[in-house]
Structure 1
Amino acid sequence: MLSKRIIAIAQGRALLPRNRAGAVALSRGWSVASTSARVAQFHSSKLLQAETIKVPQMAESISEGTLKTWHKQPGDPVEADEEVATIETDKIDVSVNAPSAGTITELLAGEEDTVAVGQDLFRFEPGEAGAAAAPKEGVPETKEPKPEKEAEAKIEPKEQPVEKAPPPPPPPAREGGEAKKEIKEAPKAAPPSKPKEAAKEIEVAPPRVAGARTETHVKMSRMRLRIAERLKESQNAAASLTTFNEIDMSSLIDFRKKYKEEVLKTQGVKLGFMSPFAKACCLALKEIPGANASIEGDSIVYRDYVDLSVAVATPKGLVTPVVRNADSMNFVEIEKEIAALGRKARDGKLTLEDMAGGTFTISNGGVFGSLYGTPIINVPQAAVLGMHTIKERAVVVNGQIVIRPIMVVALTYDHRLLDGREAVTFLVKIRDYLEDPRRMLLV
């Protein structure tokens, strides 16, 4: 018998037991072996595929941040480059994205924890989204031949939809109409679960009492702490002084009114007041280079280019993205760049490169209704221009009292770099350019 089995194996023929019981036992043995191999293969591949994602490098000057939000939880599928977490730093919010499609398996830090660059952040299993729950490709699934149970499984799904709640007891014959009415209204008696939960939350929330003296303590964000530090640094370091002037905006308003529709139609951008102010500042900075300088140690650094910082208010605080080489741009190019930076600031998408550097700052408090103000210098810059709201006022022009739209502008400057004469001359040049925009074509 042994020799026959050896010969059969050599010839590639399978020898199966002749009785049915032996065949079933042998097939079950193969099934168990196949299942064990499949489970072992699944676990080994899962261990090999698991990855640990670390806190990414954010910038040379940033070594840690606060884990602000987890956008995914263990078991959640993710797509490639989908945001998993947000880390708040003192300058920007950094997004941590999934390197590829897969499933989050474990979170290694909690919200509001301080995390350092290179620290383990979460574990991740690569693969198609939701693949962890699906059978692996290439691994055959074998099932034990259980005819009775398979038959039950096939019948059961068909029977489930047929199951119905027991019918209500038949109503008395004399009150048939009323009974029917009750049956129709029965479903309305059970309110949905969501309104119950909402009502419960409303009941739990303590009512506000008129005249109550309540206090709310909110932890300062890293960005707000950094802003506070920078503003105090500016007050301590710079010898700040502010000078004011008034600008008759009549010509600039007429200019904008005449061309804004054409620019919007042809260039796809709104023509505002920021581009003329930016251009006027660039021209004035060329004539007064000290306003475009900074102090480094015991030296003054003068620049022949203008990287214009534009203050933008966001829900998290004031940020100053930079328009690079603004001196080489025209009105439309400046408007496009400012609009793009403004969108990125509002969406929280600004990068460190967007805010690094800057040689001069413009801050427009006029959009919020500010009439007067003394802006704070964005150190190590030498000066900052503050724009304010436009108000119609009675002014004297050629001996006549007329109504003109007037904007008050303020220049705060570092007296260590600029003398009063230079600072006032700088602001007067800006005023002259804006009161007659055609002057900017002559420079």
Structure 2
Amino acid sequence: MSSFSALRSTVLRSNRPSSFSHLRTPSSRLFHIKARMPSLIATRAAPRSSHPSLQQWRSYADSVTIKVPPMAESISEGTLKQWLKEVGEQVEQDEEIATIETDKIDVAVNAPQAGILKELLVEADTTVTVGQDLAKLEPGEGAPKPAKEETKKEEPNSSPPQKTDQPKSTEKTPEPKKVEENPKKADIIPPPTTHPAPAADGIGNRGEQRVKMNRMRLRTGERLKQSQNTAASLTTFNEVDMSAVMEMRSLYKNVVLEKTGVKLGFVSFFTKACILAMKDVPVVNASIEGPNGGDTIVYRDYVDVSIAVATEKGLVTPVIRNAETLDLVGIDKAISELGEKARNGKITLEDLAGGTFTISNGGVFGSLMGTPIINLPQSAVLGRSYVL
């Protein structure tokens, strides 16, 4: 056996191939795999940043998508009014970066976390829906803030060379030279702006401006027209002597202002009078609901008064909840707070929802009489005017 094994080893050594790939023994395959491992390790050890596709994948995976936030059950879309931040700017967590205009209120889009705004997916004045992608945010803090200061500092430094370059640019331009070389032709040809067309016709300025209406004005007009087509309404005018109310207000308005900080106005008197009238005539505080214009009258034990407030965007009617439980000072305080929120654009859907009776004031515009339109599904509305 020893001679046979020695002979076999001699034959194997003499017939050993130059490449180990032809050997089929388990030990040779294992050696072949071990020989290739250094090359595999070298390729895996290469930095990811050297591969452009890996960089793109990494940046895409690290970015956060900002979506259109939920608005309300009855509102599913809006118009992206404006971007408050630009690409490359640093934003903080919960900072407002955009505003979406809906039929009733403006919805703020806040950053879910601090980072850098990398990409805007939607342009301004575009209709967006709830859940739609708006922008890409790269998480991080404080990187571009010093860059803004550097750009601001560079602007005044770059302005002086611009002033010094201005005469050089005028010397290089050939157009003024041609005018100077041919002064006779300039005298013969009259300037076209000396005889404008509107002045020749003797009519005057006939310019036009086209401004797209916002969603709130469009929705308000749509609902008012729907009310005109649906509700069979009747308007009555009544003259009321307000001398006693005016005397009472003049006596106590300063005292109320010093004690409560609330300005005593006339709206609270009208609101209180309407609440007392609704107790005697409950149908005024009721609403008509049901198909085909309504077939059911809903009577209520509470009074939620909608007060019309004119804003720059349109007319809104915030609601005073349970107005029957408030006194004159409480009503004036609620009206002042809701009016301020509406004018500052901070009104919410909860402030506008509901309402069993509406009070409008056309007297602030100087009108003596007016026929306000019923705010559906309410059954009545009060329009008031002042004659002092």
CA distance 1:208–1:121, shift in 2 (3 Å): farther
2:300 to 303, 308, 317: 303
Q: Counterparts of 1:23-422 in structure 2 under 5 Å?
A: 47-130=60-143, 211-297=204-290, 298-391=295-388
Q: Is the 8 A contact 2:89 2:144 kept in 1?
A: no
Instruction: Select between 73-82 and 35-44 the one with higher mean Cα deviation.
Output: 35-44
Q: Is the 8 A contact 1:224 1:317 kept in 2?
A: yes
Q: Is the 8 A contact 1:269 1:336 kept in 2?
A: yes
Cα offsets for 1:128-150 (capped at 9, x unmatched): 2436989xxxxxxxxxxxxxxxx
User: Equivalents in 2 of 1:263, 1:208: separation in Å?
Assistant: 59
Count of aligned pairs between the two proteins: 294
Per-residue deviation, 1:244: 0.8
Larger Rg: 2
In structure 2, the residue corresponding to 1:246 is in which secondary structure? coil
Cα offsets for 1:296-318 (capped at 9, x unmatched): 12211000000000000011111
CA distance 1:208–1:276, shift in 2 (3 Å): farther
User: Equivalents in 1 of 2:249, 2:197: separation in Å?
Assistant: 51
Per-residue deviation, 1:259: 1.1
CA distance 1:253–1:132, shift in 2 (3 Å): closer
CA distance 1:207–1:35, shift in 2 (3 Å): farther
Q: Percent identity?
A: 62
Q: Is the 8 A contact 2:106 2:345 kept in 1?
A: yes
In structure 2, the residue corresponding to 1:106 is in which secondary structure? strand
In structure 1, the residue corresponding to 2:88 is in which secondary structure? coil
> TM-score of the superposition, structure 2-length normalised?
0.69
CA distance 1:211–1:107, shift in 2 (3 Å): same
The aligned amino acid for 1:248 is: D
Q: Is the 8 A contact 2:88 2:144 kept in 1?
A: no
In structure 1, the residue corresponding to 2:284 is in which secondary structure? helix
CA distance 1:267–1:106, shift in 2 (3 Å): same
Per-residue deviation, 1:360: 0.2
RMSD: 3.1
Q: Is the 8 A contact 2:286 2:356 kept in 1?
A: yes
CA distance 1:216–1:240, shift in 2 (3 Å): same
Cα offsets for 1:34-92 (capped at 9, x unmatched): 99689999988755542001111111111111111111111011122221111111111
The aligned amino acid for 2:384 is: M
Q: Is the 8 A contact 1:294 1:382 kept in 2?
A: yes
Alignment-derived partner of residue 144 in structure 1:
none
Q: Is the 8 A contact 1:102 1:131 kept in 2?
A: no
In structure 1, the residue corresponding to 2:240 is in which secondary structure? strand
User: Equivalents in 2 of 1:50, 1:132: separation in Å?
Assistant: 19
Alignment-derived partner of residue 411 in structure 1:
none
Cα offsets for 1:4-29 (capped at 9, x unmatched): xxxxxxxxxxxxxxxxxxxxxxxxxx
Whichever structure has more strand as a proportion of its residues is 1
Per-residue deviation, 1:386: 0.6
User: Equivalents in 2 of 1:207, 1:127: separation in Å?
Assistant: 59
User: Equivalents in 2 of 1:39, 1:286: separation in Å?
Assistant: 80
Q: Is the 8 A contact 2:90 2:143 kept in 1?
A: yes
Query: Looking at both structures, which has the greater relative contact order when contacts are Cα pairs under 8 Å and sequence separation is at least 6?
Result: 1
Q: Is the 8 A contact 1:101 1:129 kept in 2?
A: no
In structure 2, the residue corresponding to 1:216 is in which secondary structure? coil
CA distance 1:127–1:35, shift in 2 (3 Å): farther
Q: Is the 8 A contact 2:90 2:145 kept in 1?
A: no
User: Equivalents in 2 of 1:44, 1:116: separation in Å?
Assistant: 28
Q: Is the 8 A contact 1:103 1:132 kept in 2?
A: no
In structure 2, the residue corresponding to 1:240 is in which secondary structure? coil
User: Equivalents in 1 of 2:113, 2:253: separation in Å?
Assistant: 45
Could you list the runs of 5+ residues in structure 1 that have no partner in the other structure?
1-33, 135-186, 194-205, 392-443
Could you list the runs of 5+ residues in structure 2 that have no partner in the other structure?
1-44, 148-159, 167-195
